[in-house]
Amino acid sequence: MKLHSAREMSKLAEGNYEKFKQSVLESEEFEALITGIKEAANDGQKTFLFNICQTSDPRIMDVFESELTEAGYKVKGGLFNINAMQITW
């Protein structure tokens, strides 16, 4: 078995992370996040608390936070629940 270089593994990881990120942005969880924000805004709120399943990949929250921040939202991760985030607009 051949040990691949760190550069090769880094390139492989980056490509696969982009595939992961795309699948997250096309997921039902992301749709639920968008729907929750819209419903909260329609109810006159400027904050939404979003939770994902505890068995989900924790990187999902990183993707969500990145997308939300890029769109101008403020995001706080849950201190006591790593599967929750508070979104403010």
Q: Is position 7 within any domain?
A: no
What is the average pLDDT score of the chain? 92
CB 87 within 8 A of CB 37: yes
Structural domain includes residue 21: no
Confidence of residue 79 (pLDDT cuts 50, 70, 90): low
Residue 33 has pLDDT above 70, yes or no: yes
Any domain includes 55: yes
Average pLDDT, stretch 18-43? 96
Percent of the chain residues topping a pLDDT of 70: 93
> Is position 44 within any domain?
yes
The reported pTM is: 0.82
**No. of helices (H) and no. of strands (E), the chain:** 3, 3
Q: What percent of the chain has pLDDT over 90?
A: 76
User: What's the total number of domains in the chain?
Assistant: 1
Q: Containing domain of residue 45, as a range? A: 28-88
